[in-house]
Structure 1
Amino acid sequence: MDRRDSLKSLLVGSVAGGLLVTGCAPGEKPEETAKTPELPGYGRNEKEKEHDRKVLAEVFLNEHELETVAVLCDIILPANANFGSASDAGVVEFIEFIVKDMPHHQLPIRGGIAWLDSYSNKLYNAEFKKLTEEQQKSICDQIAYPGKTAPELLPGERFFTRMRNLTLTGYFTSEMGIKDLGYKGNTPGVWDGVPADVLAEHDVDYEPEWLAKCVDQSKRTAIAEWDDEGNLIT
């Protein structure tokens, strides 16, 4: 089992995807500006949409922090032959939104990135995002397994665990992640009718007409229709 398959069992629920917001340039008319983007989803009322727009317009993580998040996300969930990496699925934007929408993540994420850079500088004299992939994975291996982490690295373990949870939430609630899971949504089930032995026990049987209409698997996706007298047509 590869890393991607093993991580599928760790899903947690949340909203998916953040979008970039652009403001009006000086002298630009409002109608010339792109509409304020909104989060995907159905059934959101105006109050919720206004909240989303406000959060999307805020800035918290700086460029360096976002680049570090991108590197770490793709280490946690890299691309494979069939699907892209976490950052390809928009997980960085997702985390950026969540950090602004749920402020209790802000200090742990910012502090965790600072810790990661400090530890990287201590080992390799460079920021985490500038290390080689081998060096980055070496650091992650030291903080990725709760219960096996050295006491002095526990702050890093807590940060990595948070990042792993956010990465999996963002990825597996994205369009790419849903396809990766193979989730097809609600699909018609197969019903072959009441078992023959049960029918025999009660001395009943299906009328051929109803049997053809109700237990014909070639029509399992058809929507039932009735005539004005209540007779089943399909």
Structure 2
Amino acid sequence: MDRRKSLKSIMLGSVATGLAATGCKPGEKTTDVSETLAHEPVKWRTKYENKILEEIKSEDNFFNDHQRETMTVLCDLILPATENYKAASDVDVVGFIDFMARDRESEAMQTDLKGGLMWLDHKCNTENGVEFKGATEAQQKEILDTIAYYDPEVPESERPFEVNFFSMVRNMTMTGFYTSKIGIEELGYKGNMPNVWNGVPDDVLEQHGVSYDPEWLAKCVDQSKRNTIAEWDENGNLLT
């Protein structure tokens, strides 16, 4: 299993079920996270939630240009484009992370995000004489390989700062991508959709030693009547 499939399987287990389908191919129209966050107040949010959302959206961006560019490189290394799939930057995952960081309850996240980006630049300058975003992909991956694999036996509070930073960015990259329109399509998540039910399979009925009453079978599993509104008598018996 390649790394993208591994990441996808984690996401499938946590936010969706079913088989993963082929995602959008490069060249198709993208819908980035900033579009999702920019819509007008909606009725399924409370007035308080809409008020907080507007306050966050009205704030200046959390990342400056250099930080955004560095974070974009980092997120695309975590979830790169392939022949069949989009990259993190194709749905503006950094816009999602920026939005989350502007949440008024995310002061610790803000410190860790900017501190982690500073660590990447310092580490890359020390070892390669160049900022992280300007290094070669091989140099970038060599640095990330030192912080990408934490020991699950070690409590988070005892891990190195840079290890926790990478873990947080990886989690947010996956969340941002796979909750976007493109990411959901890549997962193959269909949501609630009408289907055709032909009853419990015969082999399952036989296994349990049960069978359908022909009268009920005709009323409940006849697909020609699927749009017929059920009618009941006064005693609760199904008529149609």
Gaps of 5+ in 1: 22-36
Scaled by the length of structure 2, what TM-score is found? Answer: 0.73
Q: Is the 8 A contact 2:80 2:86 kept in 1?
A: yes
The structure with the largest alpha-carbon Rg is 1
- Equivalents in 2 of 1:121, 1:104: separation in Å? 26
* AA of the residue aligned to 1:225: I
Aligned length: 204
Measure how far apart 1:51 and its partner are: 1.2
Identity, % of aligned pairs?
A: 41
- Equivalents in 1 of 2:224, 2:107: separation in Å? 51
Q: Structure 1 residues 9, 224: CA separation in 2 closer, same or farther (over 3 Å shift)?
A: same
* AA of the residue aligned to 2:133: K
Q: Does 1:57 align with 2:51?
A: no
User: Which residue matches 1:91?
Assistant: 93
Q: Structure 1 residues 44, 68: CA separation in 2 closer, same or farther (over 3 Å shift)?
A: same
User: Which residue matches 1:34?
Assistant: none
User: Which residue matches 1:24?
Assistant: none
Q: Secondary structure at the match of 1:198?
A: coil
* AA of the residue aligned to 2:8: K
Which residue, out of 193, 199, 206, partners 1:192?
A: 199
Q: Is the 8 A contact 1:117 1:127 kept in 2?
A: yes
Which residue, out of 127, 135, 138, partners 1:134?
A: 138
**Structure number with higher relative contact order (C-alpha < 8 Å, ≥ 6 residues apart):** 2
User: Which residue matches 1:30?
Assistant: none
User: Which residue matches 2:3?
Assistant: 3
Runs of 4+ with deviation above 4 angstroms: 39-42, 227-233
- Equivalents in 1 of 2:192, 2:177: separation in Å? 21
Gaps of 5+ in 2: 16-31, 153-158
Measure how far apart 1:18 and its partner are: 3.5
- Equivalents in 2 of 1:226, 1:190: separation in Å? 16
- Equivalents in 2 of 1:178, 1:163: separation in Å? 19
Q: Does 1:143 align with 2:147?
A: yes
Name the Cα RMSD after superposition. Answer: 3.1
Which residue, out of 107, 112, 124, partners 1:103?
A: 107
Q: Secondary structure at the match of 2:90?
A: coil
